[in-house]
Protein backbone atom coordinates (compact mmCIF):
# COMPACT_ATOMS: atom_id res chain seq x y z
CA UNK A 1 0.00 0.00 0.00
CA UNK A 2 1.51 3.30 -0.99
CA UNK A 3 2.17 5.71 1.82
CA UNK A 4 3.02 9.38 1.70
CA UNK A 5 6.78 9.73 1.75
CA UNK A 6 6.69 11.53 5.06
CA UNK A 7 6.00 8.16 6.68
CA UNK A 8 9.34 6.84 5.47
CA UNK A 9 11.30 9.45 7.36
CA UNK A 10 8.88 10.22 10.17
CA UNK A 11 9.76 10.49 13.83
CA UNK A 12 10.01 7.23 15.79
CA UNK A 13 6.70 5.40 15.98
CA UNK A 14 7.57 3.88 19.33
CA UNK A 15 9.69 4.39 22.38
CA UNK A 16 13.30 4.29 21.24
CA UNK A 17 14.87 0.82 21.36
CA UNK A 18 18.22 0.45 23.11
CA UNK A 19 21.37 0.49 21.00
CA UNK A 20 21.70 -3.31 20.69
CA UNK A 21 18.08 -3.72 19.64
CA UNK A 22 18.31 -0.90 17.10
CA UNK A 23 21.29 -2.61 15.49
CA UNK A 24 19.73 -6.06 15.50
CA UNK A 25 16.40 -4.79 14.22
CA UNK A 26 17.84 -2.77 11.33
CA UNK A 27 20.03 -5.71 10.30
CA UNK A 28 16.90 -7.87 10.37
CA UNK A 29 14.95 -5.40 8.26
CA UNK A 30 17.71 -5.33 5.63
CA UNK A 31 18.11 -9.13 5.69
CA UNK A 32 14.37 -9.51 5.15
CA UNK A 33 14.47 -6.97 2.30
CA UNK A 34 17.48 -8.67 0.71
CA UNK A 35 15.77 -12.06 0.82
CA UNK A 36 12.84 -10.58 -1.07
CA UNK A 37 15.14 -8.84 -3.55
CA UNK A 38 16.67 -12.27 -4.14
CA UNK A 39 13.30 -13.71 -5.12
CA UNK A 40 12.77 -10.99 -7.72
CA UNK A 41 16.30 -11.46 -9.03
CA UNK A 42 15.73 -15.22 -9.38
CA UNK A 43 12.39 -14.88 -11.17
CA UNK A 44 12.61 -11.62 -13.13
CA UNK A 45 16.34 -11.30 -13.87
CA UNK A 46 18.11 -14.66 -13.75
CA UNK A 47 15.10 -16.78 -14.68
CA UNK A 48 16.42 -19.50 -12.35
CA UNK A 49 12.93 -19.86 -10.81
CA UNK A 50 9.65 -19.78 -12.76
CA UNK A 51 8.03 -16.34 -12.86
CA UNK A 52 5.03 -16.09 -10.55
CA UNK A 53 3.21 -12.79 -10.48
CA UNK A 54 1.70 -13.30 -7.05
CA UNK A 55 5.04 -14.17 -5.48
CA UNK A 56 6.57 -11.11 -7.13
CA UNK A 57 3.83 -8.93 -5.65
CA UNK A 58 4.41 -10.44 -2.20
CA UNK A 59 8.16 -9.77 -2.54
CA UNK A 60 7.62 -6.18 -3.69
CA UNK A 61 5.17 -5.59 -0.82
CA UNK A 62 7.82 -6.84 1.60
CA UNK A 63 10.56 -4.58 0.23
CA UNK A 64 8.25 -1.56 0.21
CA UNK A 65 7.12 -2.31 3.75
CA UNK A 66 10.74 -2.23 4.93
CA UNK A 67 11.43 1.00 3.04
CA UNK A 68 8.36 2.65 4.53
CA UNK A 69 8.73 1.31 8.07
CA UNK A 70 10.47 4.31 9.59
CA UNK A 71 13.96 2.77 9.60
CA UNK A 72 15.33 6.12 10.75
CA UNK A 73 14.34 5.30 14.32
CA UNK A 74 16.82 2.36 14.18
CA UNK A 75 19.74 4.68 13.45
CA UNK A 76 19.92 6.49 16.79
CA UNK A 77 22.98 8.15 18.33
CA UNK A 78 25.70 5.77 19.45
CA UNK A 79 24.76 2.96 17.05
CA UNK A 80 27.70 3.21 14.63
CA UNK A 81 30.78 1.01 14.46
CA UNK A 82 33.01 3.45 16.32
CA UNK A 83 31.12 2.42 19.47
CA UNK A 84 29.91 -1.11 18.63
CA UNK A 85 31.60 -4.20 17.22
CA UNK A 86 28.51 -5.83 15.80
CA UNK A 87 27.51 -3.23 13.25
CA UNK A 88 28.75 -1.94 9.92
CA UNK A 89 27.17 1.49 10.23
CA UNK A 90 29.87 4.13 9.69
CA UNK A 91 29.93 7.07 12.12
CA UNK A 92 29.91 9.46 9.14
CA UNK A 93 26.18 8.72 9.02
CA UNK A 94 25.71 11.19 11.89
CA UNK A 95 27.71 13.91 10.16
CA UNK A 96 25.61 13.87 7.01
CA UNK A 97 21.93 14.01 7.97
CA UNK A 98 20.90 15.47 4.62
CA UNK A 99 22.64 12.72 2.68
CA UNK A 100 21.08 10.14 5.01
CA UNK A 101 17.66 11.60 4.37
CA UNK A 102 18.29 11.63 0.64
CA UNK A 103 19.24 7.95 0.42
CA UNK A 104 16.36 6.94 2.70
CA UNK A 105 13.88 8.81 0.51
CA UNK A 106 15.48 7.33 -2.61
CA UNK A 107 14.94 3.84 -1.21
CA UNK A 108 11.34 4.58 -0.21
CA UNK A 109 10.52 6.04 -3.62
CA UNK A 110 12.13 3.21 -5.59
CA UNK A 111 10.56 0.50 -3.44
CA UNK A 112 7.10 2.07 -3.49
CA UNK A 113 7.29 2.21 -7.28
CA UNK A 114 8.40 -1.45 -7.37
CA UNK A 115 5.28 -2.31 -5.44
CA UNK A 116 3.13 -0.32 -7.84
CA UNK A 117 4.67 -2.04 -10.86
CA UNK A 118 4.06 -5.45 -9.28
CA UNK A 119 0.52 -4.57 -8.16
CA UNK A 120 -0.44 -3.30 -11.59
CA UNK A 121 0.76 -6.48 -13.27
CA UNK A 122 3.51 -4.55 -15.04
CA UNK A 123 5.10 -7.79 -16.18
CA UNK A 124 8.56 -9.26 -16.00
CA UNK A 125 10.57 -6.65 -17.86
CA UNK A 126 8.97 -3.67 -16.11
CA UNK A 127 9.59 -5.39 -12.78
CA UNK A 128 13.20 -6.13 -13.74
CA UNK A 129 13.78 -2.49 -14.66
CA UNK A 130 12.40 -1.19 -11.38
CA UNK A 131 14.27 -3.90 -9.44
CA UNK A 132 17.43 -2.39 -10.85
CA UNK A 133 16.41 1.07 -9.59
CA UNK A 134 15.80 -0.34 -6.11
CA UNK A 135 19.19 -2.03 -6.21
CA UNK A 136 20.80 1.29 -6.99
CA UNK A 137 19.07 2.83 -3.98
CA UNK A 138 20.48 0.10 -1.71
CA UNK A 139 23.94 0.66 -3.16
CA UNK A 140 23.72 4.45 -2.77
CA UNK A 141 23.34 4.00 0.96
CA UNK A 142 25.90 1.22 1.33
CA UNK A 143 28.56 3.18 -0.59
CA UNK A 144 28.13 6.12 1.73
CA UNK A 145 27.31 4.68 5.12
CA UNK A 146 28.15 0.97 5.38
CA UNK A 147 31.60 -0.41 6.19
CA UNK A 148 33.12 -3.08 3.91
CA UNK B 1 -1.93 -5.55 -0.28
CA UNK B 2 -4.10 -8.56 0.31
CA UNK B 3 -2.97 -11.74 -1.39
CA UNK B 4 -4.77 -15.01 -1.85
CA UNK B 5 -3.84 -17.27 1.04
CA UNK B 6 -2.15 -19.72 -1.26
CA UNK B 7 0.76 -17.29 -1.51
CA UNK B 8 1.39 -17.59 2.21
CA UNK B 9 2.07 -21.28 2.00
CA UNK B 10 3.26 -21.54 -1.59
CA UNK B 11 6.30 -23.42 -2.79
CA UNK B 12 9.64 -21.62 -2.52
CA UNK B 13 9.83 -18.54 -4.69
CA UNK B 14 13.57 -18.89 -5.12
CA UNK B 15 16.33 -21.44 -5.12
CA UNK B 16 16.46 -22.88 -1.61
CA UNK B 17 18.82 -21.03 0.75
CA UNK B 18 21.36 -23.08 2.69
CA UNK B 19 20.52 -24.06 6.26
CA UNK B 20 22.35 -21.17 7.93
CA UNK B 21 20.73 -18.59 5.68
CA UNK B 22 17.26 -20.07 6.19
CA UNK B 23 17.70 -19.78 9.96
CA UNK B 24 19.09 -16.25 9.83
CA UNK B 25 16.45 -15.07 7.37
CA UNK B 26 13.48 -16.46 9.29
CA UNK B 27 14.81 -14.96 12.54
CA UNK B 28 15.14 -11.63 10.71
CA UNK B 29 11.61 -11.85 9.36
CA UNK B 30 10.23 -12.49 12.87
CA UNK B 31 12.38 -9.75 14.42
CA UNK B 32 11.11 -7.29 11.81
CA UNK B 33 7.51 -8.40 12.45
CA UNK B 34 7.96 -8.12 16.21
CA UNK B 35 9.35 -4.59 15.91
CA UNK B 36 6.24 -3.59 14.00
CA UNK B 37 3.98 -5.35 16.50
CA UNK B 38 5.72 -3.28 19.17
CA UNK B 39 4.77 -0.05 17.42
CA UNK B 40 1.10 -1.04 17.38
CA UNK B 41 1.27 -2.10 21.01
CA UNK B 42 2.80 1.26 21.98
CA UNK B 43 0.27 3.35 20.07
CA UNK B 44 -2.96 1.34 20.14
CA UNK B 45 -2.69 -0.64 23.40
CA UNK B 46 -0.33 1.01 25.88
CA UNK B 47 -0.80 4.57 24.64
CA UNK B 48 2.86 5.25 25.43
CA UNK B 49 3.32 6.85 21.97
CA UNK B 50 0.79 9.14 20.29
CA UNK B 51 -1.56 7.33 17.89
CA UNK B 52 -0.65 7.95 14.26
CA UNK B 53 -2.85 6.31 11.65
CA UNK B 54 -0.25 6.38 8.92
CA UNK B 55 2.42 4.78 11.10
CA UNK B 56 -0.10 2.12 12.15
CA UNK B 57 -0.82 1.37 8.49
CA UNK B 58 2.90 1.12 7.74
CA UNK B 59 3.34 -1.27 10.69
CA UNK B 60 0.37 -3.42 9.66
CA UNK B 61 1.68 -3.54 6.08
CA UNK B 62 5.02 -4.76 7.41
CA UNK B 63 3.50 -7.52 9.54
CA UNK B 64 1.25 -8.67 6.70
CA UNK B 65 4.17 -8.65 4.28
CA UNK B 66 6.08 -11.01 6.58
CA UNK B 67 3.07 -13.28 7.02
CA UNK B 68 2.53 -13.45 3.25
CA UNK B 69 6.19 -13.77 2.25
CA UNK B 70 6.30 -17.53 1.91
CA UNK B 71 8.10 -18.16 5.20
CA UNK B 72 7.63 -21.90 4.62
CA UNK B 73 10.67 -21.92 2.33
CA UNK B 74 12.79 -20.88 5.36
CA UNK B 75 11.78 -23.99 7.31
CA UNK B 76 13.55 -26.60 5.20
CA UNK B 77 14.77 -30.02 6.34
CA UNK B 78 17.69 -29.96 8.76
CA UNK B 79 16.97 -26.47 10.11
CA UNK B 80 15.72 -27.43 13.59
CA UNK B 81 17.58 -27.28 16.90
CA UNK B 82 18.43 -30.99 16.94
CA UNK B 83 20.97 -30.21 14.21
CA UNK B 84 21.84 -26.53 14.82
CA UNK B 85 22.80 -24.55 17.90
CA UNK B 86 21.66 -21.15 16.67
CA UNK B 87 17.95 -21.82 16.26
CA UNK B 88 14.94 -22.41 18.47
CA UNK B 89 12.94 -24.35 15.91
CA UNK B 90 11.86 -27.65 17.48
CA UNK B 91 12.29 -30.79 15.35
CA UNK B 92 8.64 -31.67 16.02
CA UNK B 93 7.88 -29.08 13.33
CA UNK B 94 8.76 -31.72 10.71
CA UNK B 95 6.51 -34.35 12.27
CA UNK B 96 3.41 -32.15 12.19
CA UNK B 97 3.08 -30.64 8.70
CA UNK B 98 -0.66 -30.14 9.05
CA UNK B 99 -0.29 -28.25 12.31
CA UNK B 100 2.51 -26.17 10.75
CA UNK B 101 0.28 -25.31 7.85
CA UNK B 102 -2.57 -24.43 10.18
CA UNK B 103 -0.53 -21.98 12.28
CA UNK B 104 1.02 -20.41 9.17
CA UNK B 105 -2.41 -19.86 7.65
CA UNK B 106 -3.68 -18.51 10.98
CA UNK B 107 -0.87 -15.95 11.00
CA UNK B 108 -1.46 -14.95 7.37
CA UNK B 109 -5.20 -14.53 7.90
CA UNK B 110 -4.85 -12.53 11.11
CA UNK B 111 -2.12 -10.28 9.69
CA UNK B 112 -3.96 -9.68 6.42
CA UNK B 113 -7.02 -8.66 8.39
CA UNK B 114 -4.87 -6.34 10.55
CA UNK B 115 -3.72 -4.66 7.35
CA UNK B 116 -7.32 -4.30 6.18
CA UNK B 117 -8.40 -2.75 9.48
CA UNK B 118 -5.49 -0.28 9.32
CA UNK B 119 -6.06 0.53 5.64
CA UNK B 120 -9.76 1.16 6.14
CA UNK B 121 -9.11 3.56 8.99
CA UNK B 122 -10.79 1.19 11.44
CA UNK B 123 -9.54 3.29 14.34
CA UNK B 124 -7.63 2.55 17.51
CA UNK B 125 -9.95 0.07 19.19
CA UNK B 126 -10.54 -2.00 16.05
CA UNK B 127 -6.79 -2.08 15.47
CA UNK B 128 -6.17 -3.08 19.08
CA UNK B 129 -8.67 -5.92 18.81
CA UNK B 130 -7.10 -7.30 15.65
CA UNK B 131 -3.59 -6.81 17.09
CA UNK B 132 -4.63 -9.19 19.83
CA UNK B 133 -5.73 -11.77 17.23
CA UNK B 134 -2.36 -11.50 15.48
CA UNK B 135 -0.60 -11.92 18.82
CA UNK B 136 -2.55 -15.13 19.40
CA UNK B 137 -1.41 -16.41 16.00
CA UNK B 138 2.24 -15.77 16.94
CA UNK B 139 1.74 -17.57 20.23
CA UNK B 140 0.00 -20.53 18.59
CA UNK B 141 3.13 -21.20 16.60
CA UNK B 142 5.59 -20.51 19.41
CA UNK B 143 3.77 -22.80 21.84
CA UNK B 144 3.94 -25.65 19.37
CA UNK B 145 7.21 -25.22 17.52
CA UNK B 146 9.59 -22.84 19.29
CA UNK B 147 11.93 -23.84 22.12
CA UNK B 148 11.97 -21.82 25.35
C1 LIG C 1 19.34 4.09 4.46
C2 LIG C 1 20.53 3.35 4.08
C3 LIG C 1 20.39 1.98 3.51
C4 LIG C 1 19.55 1.53 2.55
C5 LIG C 1 18.55 2.35 1.73
C6 LIG C 1 19.78 0.12 2.40
N7 LIG C 1 20.76 -0.29 3.26
FE8 LIG C 1 21.43 -2.19 3.53
N9 LIG C 1 22.49 -1.59 5.13
C10 LIG C 1 22.70 -0.28 5.49
C11 LIG C 1 23.55 -0.23 6.65
C12 LIG C 1 24.00 1.01 7.38
C13 LIG C 1 23.84 -1.56 6.97
C14 LIG C 1 24.66 -2.06 8.16
C15 LIG C 1 23.68 -2.23 9.32
C16 LIG C 1 24.36 -2.66 10.59
O17 LIG C 1 25.30 -3.50 10.52
O18 LIG C 1 23.95 -2.17 11.65
C19 LIG C 1 23.15 -2.39 6.00
C20 LIG C 1 23.18 -3.78 6.02
C21 LIG C 1 22.61 -4.58 5.03
C22 LIG C 1 22.70 -6.01 5.01
C23 LIG C 1 23.36 -6.90 6.05
C24 LIG C 1 22.36 -7.12 7.21
C25 LIG C 1 22.92 -7.95 8.37
O26 LIG C 1 22.35 -9.03 8.64
O27 LIG C 1 23.91 -7.52 8.98
C28 LIG C 1 22.05 -6.42 3.88
C29 LIG C 1 21.86 -7.85 3.40
C30 LIG C 1 21.57 -5.23 3.21
N31 LIG C 1 21.92 -4.12 3.95
C32 LIG C 1 20.84 -5.22 2.04
C33 LIG C 1 20.15 -4.09 1.56
C34 LIG C 1 19.22 -4.12 0.46
C35 LIG C 1 18.92 -5.35 -0.38
C36 LIG C 1 18.70 -2.87 0.34
C37 LIG C 1 17.66 -2.34 -0.62
C38 LIG C 1 16.54 -3.19 -0.94
C39 LIG C 1 19.33 -2.06 1.35
N40 LIG C 1 20.20 -2.84 2.06
C41 LIG C 1 19.07 -0.70 1.54
C42 LIG C 1 22.17 0.83 4.89
C43 LIG C 1 21.16 0.80 3.94
C1 LIG D 1 4.80 -20.35 11.63
C2 LIG D 1 5.21 -20.27 13.02
C3 LIG D 1 5.43 -18.91 13.65
C4 LIG D 1 4.64 -17.80 13.58
C5 LIG D 1 3.29 -17.65 12.91
C6 LIG D 1 5.34 -16.77 14.31
N7 LIG D 1 6.51 -17.24 14.80
FE8 LIG D 1 7.92 -16.20 15.86
N9 LIG D 1 9.17 -17.77 15.71
C10 LIG D 1 8.84 -19.03 15.27
C11 LIG D 1 9.99 -19.90 15.36
C12 LIG D 1 10.03 -21.37 14.96
C13 LIG D 1 11.03 -19.13 15.88
C14 LIG D 1 12.48 -19.56 16.11
C15 LIG D 1 13.23 -19.28 14.79
C16 LIG D 1 14.66 -19.74 14.85
O17 LIG D 1 15.31 -19.58 15.94
O18 LIG D 1 15.14 -20.28 13.85
C19 LIG D 1 10.49 -17.78 16.07
C20 LIG D 1 11.24 -16.70 16.56
C21 LIG D 1 10.72 -15.47 16.86
C22 LIG D 1 11.48 -14.37 17.41
C23 LIG D 1 12.99 -14.37 17.71
C24 LIG D 1 13.74 -14.07 16.39
C25 LIG D 1 15.25 -14.10 16.55
O26 LIG D 1 15.90 -13.06 16.31
O27 LIG D 1 15.81 -15.17 16.92
C28 LIG D 1 10.59 -13.35 17.59
C29 LIG D 1 10.92 -11.97 18.14
C30 LIG D 1 9.30 -13.80 17.12
N31 LIG D 1 9.40 -15.10 16.68
C32 LIG D 1 8.15 -13.05 17.12
C33 LIG D 1 6.98 -13.39 16.42
C34 LIG D 1 5.86 -12.52 16.23
C35 LIG D 1 5.74 -11.13 16.82
C36 LIG D 1 4.96 -13.19 15.46
C37 LIG D 1 3.63 -12.74 14.92
C38 LIG D 1 3.51 -11.39 14.44
C39 LIG D 1 5.52 -14.48 15.19
N40 LIG D 1 6.74 -14.57 15.79
C41 LIG D 1 4.88 -15.47 14.44
C42 LIG D 1 7.63 -19.42 14.77
C43 LIG D 1 6.60 -18.56 14.43
Task: Give residue B57's pLDDT band: very low, low, confident or very high (50, 70, 90).
Answer: very high
What does the pLDDT look like over B63-116, one tens digit per residue? 999 999 999 999 999 999 999 999 999 999 999 999 999 999 999 999 999 999
CB pairs under 8 A between A and B: 131
What does the pLDDT look like over A71-108, one tens digit per residue? 999 999 999 999 999 999 999 999 999 999 999 999 99
> Residue A68 has what pLDDT?
98
Question: A27: which chain B residues are within 8 Å (Cβ-Cβ)?
Answer: 28
Rounded to whole angstroms, the Cα distance separating A43 from B30 reads 24
A17-145 classified as CATH 1.20.120.10: yes
Q: Sign of the C-alpha dihedral, residues B105, B63, A136, A142? A: negative
B21 within 8 A of A81, measured Cβ to Cβ:
no
Going from N- to C-terminal start, the domains of chain B cover 17-145
Q: Which residues of B touch A (CB under 8 A)?
A: 1, 3-4, 6-7, 10, 12-15, 17, 24-25, 27-29, 31-32, 35-36, 38-39, 42-43, 48-49, 52, 54-55, 57-59, 61-62, 64-66, 68-70, 115, 119
Other CB atoms within 10 A of residue B93 CB: 19
B89 within 8 A of B120, measured Cβ to Cβ:
no
| CA distances for B107 relative to A106, B30, B62, angstroms | 32, 12, 13
Which of B84, B138, B143 has most ligand 2 atoms within 8 Å of its beta carbon, as the pocket-test mutant? B138
User: How many angstroms separate the alpha carbon of residue B147 from the centre of ligand 2?
Assistant: 10
Other CB atoms within 10 A of residue A124 CB: 15
Percent of chain A with pLDDT over 90: 88
Rounded to whole angstroms, the Cα distance separating A73 from A104 reads 12
Task: Give residue A15's pLDDT band: very low, low, confident or very high (50, 70, 90).
Answer: low
User: How many angstroms separate the alpha carbon of residue B65 from the centre of ligand 2?
Assistant: 14
Which of B80, B142, B145, B148 has most ligand 2 atoms within 8 Å of its beta carbon, as the pocket-test mutant? B142
Distance from CA of A72 to the nearest CA of B (A): 13
Is A66 within 8 Å of B62 when comparing Cβ atoms? yes
Neighbour-count burial of B6, counting CB atoms closer than 10 A to its CB (0-12 exposed, 13-18 middle, 19+ buried)? exposed
Q: What are residue B120's phi and psi, to 5 degrees?
A: -90, 15
Task: Give residue A121's pLDDT band: very low, low, confident or very high (50, 70, 90).
Answer: confident
> Residue B121 has what pLDDT?
85
Amino acid sequence: MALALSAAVAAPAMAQLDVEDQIETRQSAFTFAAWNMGKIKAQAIDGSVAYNEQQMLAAANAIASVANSGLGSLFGPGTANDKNDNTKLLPVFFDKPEKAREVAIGFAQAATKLQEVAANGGGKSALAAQFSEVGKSCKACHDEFRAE
